[in-house]
Amino acid sequence: MQNNVIRLHKDAPEDVAPPVADTLTETIIDVVQDAEPRPVDNPEQKTLEGTWLAEKQAYLAEAPPVVPTFLRNAAQFIDATRWTISYAMHVTGFHALRAPVYLARLLLRAPRGTGRLLVRWGRWVADTEARPVEAKAAASADIEAWLSLSREHSRRVRPRRIASLVVATATGITTLVSAFLVPGWTITAAITAAALAGLYGKKGDKPLITRYVATNVLRKLDSTEVFDALAAIGIEGKKGKRGVEFAAEVMRDGPGWRAEVDLPPGVEATAVLEKRAALAAAMRRPISTVWPEADRTAHPGRLVLWVASRDPAKAGRKLWPLMRDGQADVYEPLPYGFDPRGNLVDMTLIYSNLLVGGIPGSGKTSCALAIVLGVALDPTAELWIYELKGSGDLDAVKPVCHRYVSGDEDDDLEAALAGLRSGIAEYQRRAKFIKSLPASEVPEGRKVTRALAEKYPEQNLAPRVIVVDEVQELFTHPEYKDEAAALCTRLIKKGRAYGLILILLTQNPDAPSLPTSVSSSVGTRLCLAVMDWRSNNNVLGTSAYERGLRATDISIDEQGTGILARGREGITVRAAFIKQTEAEDIGKRALALRTAAGTLTGQAVGAAVVEEDVETVLDHLRAIWPDGVEAVHSHRLVEALARFRPDLYKPWLDMDAAGASTALSVALKPFRVSTRQLTIRECCGGAKGLRWADLPAVEEGE
C-alpha cells in the first residue's frame, strides 16, 4: 500500500487529519481523478476467434469420448449383445415358423406369375417394343425406313424363335423323363419353379412376408423438431438476441432420445415445464412420451428434453425386481417402480415417512402394493396396516402383519387411532433406551440402526411400519380428526429416528382431508394424478407446482404414475404393476421368510394385539393448546379435550363449568400442575385456568 490516507472526495482538504483506525483491518481506497476505465475481461487471456488454436480448444471442451460408452461399460455391452442376439433369434424363429405359409402364398400366386412370365417372353420373342417404330414409319409413308426396320426386326426375331423352341423342347423332354426316373426330385424342382414364378405374381397391397407393424414406435427426434416446437409455445430468442442453443447433440438415451437445450437468456426451464402439454401438441407426439425437466446442476435455463421412442403407456409391463425371488431390507432403498426411461426407481423409507395422494382411480392401490410388499419381504420389519376402505386390497400381506385392520366403521377408525398411540409409546420407549447408550455405540447419532437392532435383540428395535390407507377417513371424522392430526404429526416428527415409519395414503388430497401439520412434516411424498394445483401442493409441498413438479399433467389413464419427491427435487415414476394373484404369491414367500427367521408376531401368530397408550393429560393439553396463546380457562380446555379424546373427556362435558374445571385440576395433580384463577379479558373475565408456562417442558423421548 502506498497511501496512508483515506481520501473519499477529490475536494477534501489535505490538512484534515484522518480518523485513527486499526491498521490490521483498515481498508485503503485510492481514488484517482479522471482515471481511464479498466476492462473487467483480461484481453490477454482471450484466444482470437477463428484461429487454429481456438478451434482445437472448442473441440476439446466437448470432445466425444475416445472409447464409445458401450465399450467402456461392460454391463451395457453385455446387455446390448444379449438383446441383439435375442432380436436375431426372434426374427429367425418368427419367419421360420411361417415358412409354410409363405410357400403356400407363392404357390397360389404361381399361375399369375407364370402368366406374367409367358407374356414377357412372348413380347421378347416378337420384339414388340419395335412395333411402334415400324408403325410410325408406315404411317408416314417412309418406305426406306420401313424396309430397314422390317429387315432389322426379322434379324432380331428369328434367333429368338429358334432359341425359344430349343429351350421349350429340351425342358419338356427333360421334365417327362425325370418324372419317371426321379419323381421326388421332379416334384421338388416343380415346386421350386412354381415358387419362383409366384414371386412375379405378387400384388402391391399384399406383401408376401408377414410384418409386425409397431404402431407405438415414434419417429426419431431431431433439432429441427425441437426448434419448431419451442418456437410454437413461445420459447425463442427476441430479435437481435441469442435464441435457443443446443448444449449437446441429440443422442439416444435408453428407450428414447435426449436433447439438452440452453433456452434464451432470461428464460427458465420451468417455463417449458408449465407448457408440457402444449409442447407435446407442437411436436405431434403423445404427452406420455414428452418429458422436459430442468438441469439445475448446469443453470436454471438448461432444459433436458427426453422423448420416448415408444409410448410408455403402451409398452410392455416391467416386472418388479422382487417378483420372483429375493428379500428386502427396510434400512436400504426398496425397489418401487420405473421412470419414463425404464430405469428402476428405489424408495427410501427408513428415517423418513411417506405421503401418497391422488384422485380416485389414479392407481393408489398399485403404489400401496409395491410399498407394503417390499416391507413384507424384510423378515425383521413389523407391519401394522389399517386399510380404512374395507376393500381388502392389501389382504396379500395380512398373514405377516403384526396388526391388520380392514374396514371403514368407527371401530376400525378407533383401532387406527390406537395403533398411532401405540406408535407414540413405542418411540418413547426406544428413545429412552437410545439415550442411555454411550456415544461410542451411536457414532452416527442417537437413532436406531441395523447394528443396534442386532446387538440388542431383547429391545425389539426392528423397524415398525404403520400404514394407514384412506387416512382422510380419520382426518375428516368429527370426533377423531384433531387427535389423528396431532398423533400423526408427532409420530412423523419424532418417531422416524427410532425406526418408526408412518405411511399415509389418501384419495382426497385437499386441505380439509390433509392437515397442514401433517403434509408439511412428511419427508417423502408421492403425488399421483390430481385435479388442481392446490391438491398438488398439498401433497408435494408449498410452491411445488411453481417449481415444475406438476402431477396435474398426469392423466388418470396413467395409473400408478406420479411424482416422487424428497425435499425440493422430484422425478416422475410409475409404480411396478403387481396383480393381486402375484401379490398373494409374494405374501406367501414373505410368510415363509418370517417363519424361517422366527419373526412372526401379533395377529400373524394368533396373539391379541394390545395397543399401549402412554399419553397423559399433559400430552393432550400440549396437542390442543392454541398457538401463541399464553393462558386458557379450564372450561375452554375441557371443551377442546373432549373434541380431541371423546373417549376420555366427553363425560366432563356433562358437568357444569365448575365441575369440569375441578375434574381437570384433579387430573393434573399427579403431575404437580395446579390450575389458578386467571383473568382473560379477551375471553370471559375471571375463572380457573392454566398458563402455558405451567406445563412442564417436554423431555427427550416424550
Which residues are 680's β-sheet partners? 685
Q: How far is CA 57 from CA 1, 41, 62, 158, 328, in A?
A: 39, 19, 9, 75, 50
In Å, how far from its chain's centre is CA 522? 19
Task: Using alpha carbons only, give the angle 175, 176, 178 rounded to the nearest 5 degrees.
Answer: 65
Q: Provide the grid cell at 527.
A: 403425488
Contact predicate 404/587, CB 8 Å: no
* Alpha carbons 473 and 506: distance in angstroms, whole number: 9
Q: How far is CA 17 from CA 20, 27, 70, 472, in A?
A: 9, 17, 74, 75
* Alpha carbons 464 and 349: distance in angstroms, whole number: 11
To the question of whether residue 365 is assigned a binding role by annotation, the answer is: yes
In the chain, the N- to C-terminal Cα span, in Å, equals 62
* Alpha carbons 377 and 593: distance in angstroms, whole number: 7
To the question of whether residue 362 is assigned a binding role by annotation, the answer is: yes
Q: In 10 A of CB 342, how many CB atoms?
A: 14
To the question of whether residue 364 is assigned a binding role by annotation, the answer is: yes
* Alpha carbons 515 and 20: distance in angstroms, whole number: 60
To the question of whether residue 567 is assigned a binding role by annotation, the answer is: no
Strand ranges across the sheet with 631-633: 631-633, 685-691, 676-680
User: What is the length of the chain?
Assistant: 702
Closest by Cα among 261, 270, 265 to 225: 261
Using a 10 angstrom Cβ sphere, with 0-12 exposed, 13-18 middle and 19 or more buried, the burial of residue 44 is exposed
Using a 10 angstrom Cβ sphere, with 0-12 exposed, 13-18 middle and 19 or more buried, the burial of residue 82 is exposed
How does DSSP classify residue 255?
Answer: S
In a 3-state reduction of DSSP, which class is residue 524? strand
**Residue 636: half-sphere exposure toward Cβ, Cα within 13 Å:** 20
**Residue 575: half-sphere exposure toward Cβ, Cα within 13 Å:** 26
To the question of whether residue 363 is assigned a binding role by annotation, the answer is: yes
Closest by Cα among 332, 330, 342, 337 to 356: 337
Query: Which amino acid, residue 420?
Result: L
* Alpha carbons 321 and 632: distance in angstroms, whole number: 56
* Alpha carbons 242 and 289: distance in angstroms, whole number: 29
Whose grid coordinates read 384412506? Answer: 470
* Alpha carbons 534 and 541: distance in angstroms, whole number: 10
Contact predicate 483/645, CB 8 Å: yes
Helix (H) or strand (E) holding 289: none
Task: Using alpha carbons only, give the angle 260, 57, 265 rounded to the nearest 5 degrees.
Answer: 40
Closest by Cα among 220, 323, 213, 303 to 263: 303
To the question of whether residue 579 is assigned a binding role by annotation, the answer is: no
- The residues near 265 (Cβ < 8 Å, ≥ 6 apart) are 241, 242, 301
Whose grid coordinates read 409441498? Answer: 541
Q: Which residues are annotated as a binding site?
A: 358-365
Q: Which residues are annotated as a binding site for ATP?
A: 358-365
